[in-house]
A and B are shown apart, each in its own frame.
Chain A
Amino acid sequence: MINKVGRDIPDEFLVNGREVFQGENYFHNKNYTKASPTVRANVDPKQEKVVPSLKEAIEKCELKDGMTISFHHHFRDGDYVVNMVVETIAEMGIKDITICASSVGDAHEPTVKHIESGVITGLSTSGIRGKIGEAVSKGLLKNVAFIRSHGGRVRAIEAGDIHIDVAFIGAPTSDAYGNARGKGGKSDCGVLSYSMVDAKYADKVVVITDCLVDFPNFPPSIQQVDVDYVVQVDEIGNPKKIANSVLRFTEDPRDLIIAEAAAQVLVNTPYFKDGFSFQTGGGGPSLAVTRFLRPYMEKQNIKMGFAIGGITKPMLDLLNDDFIRIIVDAQDFDLPSIESVNSHPRHFEISTSQYANPFNKGSFVNKLDFGILAALEIDTDFNVNVITGSDDGILRGAPGGHVDIAAGAKCSILVTPLLRTRIPTIREKVTTVTTPGESVDVVVTEVGIAINPKRQDLLEALQNIKLPLPLRTIEELKNEAYAIAGAPEEIEFEDKVVALVEYRDGTIIDVVRKIKNSD
């Protein structure tokens, strides 16, 4: 069946109530019943939760073939937890397990052999990079994978689309009763936002830490009342890869041109007024926008009401210089942010549900004025691909909060170079749709700015402003990219679907197919 962005979703997947994408607000006002876990009443006050080994914790959780386990990715490329757990499960002879992760990537290459051997047969994730992305693209995962946004993952868990049997929560510190925090240990990550929903909805919850601290470890991100077992290991991750010591501003002149233009677009929209809200990620151009905003805020005496992220030092600088009233934080990228969320009176940890879940009664993305986002590809309908590579169609990206932010923000601004080496980012059709065009308002490249024709209001606000780059149509940008590089051939896939791309509301917005066999 063809969905609202023109992608054909094979009927075989439209079962059990699953529908195709029909618009950002298709499910607005629909009622649904939340799922609930089957949990154990831990009545006896003498019971200890600390278990001497991961193996014993898994045994006590009665993990069996065919079950689903979950992980967060607050440890990013420095994570050891996923590999440890999967390795142990494999040794125990358990198989046919589905991983429900908030993201997987380069750190998880060791799980590829377990995918090949059938220990892991299912995967639900936002990000998917490196060898694990290749493995799924080659069709090595037995069951079709699910790609979800951050908000979409929470929705799927709360609505019962995915049932977590055992949640494994890596924690920089935990006490013996399971109060877990993102701070105070050897490998701090700041917050534990992604795993909050896991703790509430999984049947069994295991906290894994390398730093057992005194009881009670307060204020806890993950609460003792939700935790079954606590396991202490030598290392939960590599601190150098969990947090950058300092995320540096890009010095690339092209990125700076794009960022400066994006900032000027932003300040000339009607939403740039005192109390505005702002989100940016950790990537080059989007982070640089933060730097360019400051002089405008100073000159016009405008402060941010709140900022969300993906938090890094540049945001903290604005907070500490009183340009931001409050930061709400669902992930930290550098050491200063990890420190700040745990000590600054106006910097708060929130859950991923509060951040971006579309099915609760109102998440923070709904209150966003501006979101600055990146893209691998954008087509002439403003649809965005952030999940598959242009040249080979291999899974190597992440919707992350992209889809959620674009849907919620009053003005979503995509920043991207026109080409990456020879590859046009602006093109006729994207390889895979992750974010629908109706969510995308402005595209800024180094040769021009395109405004979604749906936003006549923004066009009127901007067309008489002297911007550093010209306003152009998205077709003109595409034509310029093709004039420089040549029109790209469409790459071929095999028919087999290896992953479903689920929009934040659970509908299917696109599919990813197996790459053509080259070996």
Chain B
Amino acid sequence: MKTRLRRTMMFLNAQRASLVKDAYIYKPDSIIFDLEDAVAENQKDSARIALYNALKSINYKGIELVVRINGLDTPHAKEDIRAAIAGGIHAVRVPKTETPGDIYAAEKEIEKAEREFGIEIGRTMIMGAIESPLGVINAFDIAKSSKRMMGISIGAGDYTRTMQTTRSIEGIELQGARSQLVIAARAAGIMCFDTVYTDIENTEGFINEVKLIKQLGFDGKSIISPKQIPIVHSVFAPSQSEIRRAEKTIRALKEHSQGGVGVFTVDGQMIDIAMLEGANRTIALAKASGVYEGDL
């Protein structure tokens, strides 16, 4: 399903049995089973078979299931896709996406696998992980390259390396990429996700980064530790005052629409019909975050 909450996308090494077996207790919105960077070269086969069996036997309680396959330029990608599709994966995350061609290549294998394993054609979504300057430049074309595209994300590790700079706490080196990606995603009508935060002990730094990317318009963030999940969900949850303003907006618009008035003031703030969508989104997010106590 292309539209759903994806505030947290938790990476899991598919080869690690102890992590895979009950990751759902941490309640991320999505789980990304990693067959790529986390898995040693000589264990790619093992991770893939482990993924397939996990998908077939474990009840992940409605959490979205994503696989990060190896790049299409490696000998592993095709079999990764076959195993994941046969297992019923919801989305395929393509690493190091630079051009729409990378998406087409993945799509071709995905469709083949859907046919082979009797999955409804087109059901499997695609995410493009953008990790280089060329990818950033091509972000909009990548984002609209396929009907299967569900989102794009920025992968800071490889990106900063290819940009010939380093990661800093404030993240100024990511500013351009973050802005361009979120603009591209919105223009293409898909979601946008921020990169992982590796300093697990630095809670304050993490909170600041999550607040920043939320303000930039990102839909969610990649997660590498269960500890990060409640923090992201809390930052993304609308505050009670935001919820109240949204409720007032919705109710007032409903009232005034009957009277034929298009613009008016509530609590000293100008309200017009353009704000309805945002208000509805706030209420939906509040409900999904479990903080909505009203009756809309």
A contacts B: CB pair < 8 Å: yes
Which A positions have Cβ atoms within 8 angstroms of B? 251, 253-254, 257, 419, 446-447, 466, 483-484
- When C-beta atoms are compared, the residue in chain A nearest to B228 turns out to be A253
Known contacts A251-B227, A253-B225, A483-B59; 12 additional CB pairs below 8 A are A253-B26, A253-B226, A253-B227, A257-B25, A257-B26, A419-B22, A446-B25, A447-B25, A466-B290, A484-B21, A484-B22, A484-B58
B25: chain A residues at CB < 8 Å are 254, 257, 446-447
| A268, chain B: closest CB distance, angstroms | 16
Residues of B within 8 A of A254 (CB): 25
Q: What range describes how many residues of B lie at the interface?
A: 10 to 19
Q: Chain A residues with Cβ under 8 A from B290's Cβ?
A: 466
Q: What are 12 inter-chain pairs, A to B, with CB distance below 8 A?
A: A253-B26, A253-B225, A254-B25, A257-B25, A419-B22, A446-B25, A447-B25, A466-B290, A483-B59, A484-B21, A484-B22, A484-B58
Q: In the bound complex, how far is the Cα of B22 from the Cα of A484, in angstroms?
A: 9
Chain B interface residues (CB < 8 Å from chain A): 21-22, 25-26, 58-59, 225-227, 290
Closest A residue to B22 by beta carbon equals A484
- How near does chain A come to B98, taking the closest CB pair, in angstroms? 35
Q: Give the chain A neighbours of B21 by CB distance below 8 A.
A: 484
For the complex, give the distance between the alpha carbons of A483 and B59 in Å. 10
A254 to B22, CA, bound (A): 10
Nearest chain A residue, comparing its CB with the CB of B25: A446
Which residues of B lie under 8 Å from residue A447 when comparing CB positions? 25
C-alpha gap A251/B226 in the complex (Å): 11
Measured CB to CB, the closest approach of chain A to B206, in angstroms, equals 14
A60 and B183 CA atoms in complex are apart in Å by: 90
| Shortest Cβ gap from B24 to chain A (Å) | 9
Q: Report the Cα distance A485→B187, complex, angstroms.
A: 47
Alpha-carbon separation in the docked complex, A254 to B23 (Å) = 10
- Residues of chain B within 8 A of A253, CB atoms compared: 26, 225-227
Q: How far is the CB of B8 from chain A (nearest CB, A)?
A: 13
Q: Please indicate the chain A residues that have their CB under 8 angstroms from the CB of B26 in the complex.
A: 253, 257
**Bound: A129/B130 CA distance, A:** 54
**Closest residue of B by beta carbon distance from A254:** B25
Q: From residue B289, how far is it (CB to closest CB) to chain A in Å? A: 12
- Which among A253, A257, A447, A484 has the greatest number of chain B C-beta atoms within 10 A? A253
A466: chain B residues within 8 A (beta carbon): 290
A389 to B226, CA, bound (A): 29
| Min CB–CB distance A289 → chain B (angstroms) | 17
Residues of chain B within 8 A (CB-CB) of A446 are: 25
What's the Cα separation between A483 and B22 when bound, in Å? 12
| In the bound complex, CA of A388 to CA of B6 (Å) | 44
Cα of A380 to Cα of B226 in the assembled complex, Å: 30
**Whole-angstrom CA separation of A331 from B258 in the bound complex:** 71
A264 to B227 alpha-carbon distance, docked (Å):
19
Separation of A484 and B59 alpha carbons in the complex (Å): 9
CA distance A257 to B28 in the complex (A): 13
The 3 closest A-B pairs by CB, nearest first: A253-B226, A446-B25, A253-B227
State A8–B225 Cα separation when bound (angstroms).
48
Cα separation A446 to B22 with both chains bound (whole Å): 10
Nearest-CB distance from B293 to chain A (Å)? 9
* Chain B residues near A251 (CB-CB < 8 A): 227
Distance (whole angstroms) from the CB of A477 to the closest CB of chain B: 13
Nearest residue (CB) in B for A483 is: B59
Residues on B with C-beta less than 8 A from A257 are 25-26
Q: Output the nearest chain A residue to B57 by Cβ-Cβ distance.
A: A484
| Closest chain A CB from B294 CB (angstroms) | 14
- Complex Cα–Cα for A173 and B84 (A): 67
A253 to B290, CA, bound (A): 20
In the assembled complex, the Cα of A251 lies from the Cα of B290 at a distance in Å of 25
Q: How far is the CA of A254 from the CA of B26 in the complex (A)?
A: 8
List of A residues within 8 angstroms of B225 by Cβ: 253
Q: Which residues of A contact B22 (CB under 8 A)?
A: 419, 484
Which chain A residue has the least Cβ–Cβ distance from B59?
A: A483
How far, in angstroms, from A2 to B21 measured CA to CA in the complex?
A: 40
Instruction: Give A447 to B24 CA distance when docked, in angstroms.
Output: 9
Query: Which B residues are in CB contact (< 8 Å) with A484?
Result: 21-22, 58
Considering the chains assembled together, what is the distance between the CA atoms of A466 and B290 in angstroms? Answer: 9
Chain A residues within an 8 Å CB radius of B226 = 253
Nearest A residue (CB) for B26: A253
Report the separation of the CA atoms of residues A254 and B226 in the bound assembly, to the nearest whole angstrom. Answer: 9
In the complex, A257 Cα to B227 Cα: how many Å? 10
Residues of A within 8 A of B227 (CB): 251, 253
A232 to B170, CA, bound (A): 62
Question: CA separation between A251 and B225, bound complex, in Å?
Answer: 12
Task: Tell me, in angstroms, the Cα distance from A466 to B289 when the chains sit together.
Answer: 12
Kindly report which residue of chain B lies nearest to residue A422, judged by CB atoms.
B21
Could you tell me the distance between the alpha carbons of A447 and B25 in the complex, rounded to whole angstroms?
7
A390 to B108, CA, bound (A): 51
**How distant is the Cα of A6 from the Cα of B58 in the complex, in angstroms?**
35
Cα separation A251 to B21 with both chains bound (whole Å): 20
Nearest chain A residue, comparing its CB with the CB of B227: A253
Q: Distance (Å) between the CB of A291 and the closest chain B CB?
A: 14
- Rounded to whole angstroms, the CA-CA distance of A451 and B184 in the bound complex is 51
Cα A257 to Cα B226 in complex, Å, equals 10
Q: Which residues of A contact B58 (CB under 8 A)?
A: 484
Bound-state CA distance A446–B21 (Å) is: 14
How many angstroms between the C-alpha atoms of A145 and B42 in the bound complex? Answer: 53
For the complex, give the distance between the alpha carbons of A444 and B58 in Å: 22
The chain B residue with its CB closest to the CB of A447 is: B25
- Shortest C-beta distance, A262 to chain B (Å), equals 15
B229, closest chain A residue (CB): A253
Instruction: With both chains docked as a complex, state the minimum distance between the C-beta of B199 and any C-beta of chain A, in angstroms.
Output: 15
Q: Looking across the interface, which residue of chain B has its beta carbon closest to that of A446? A: B25
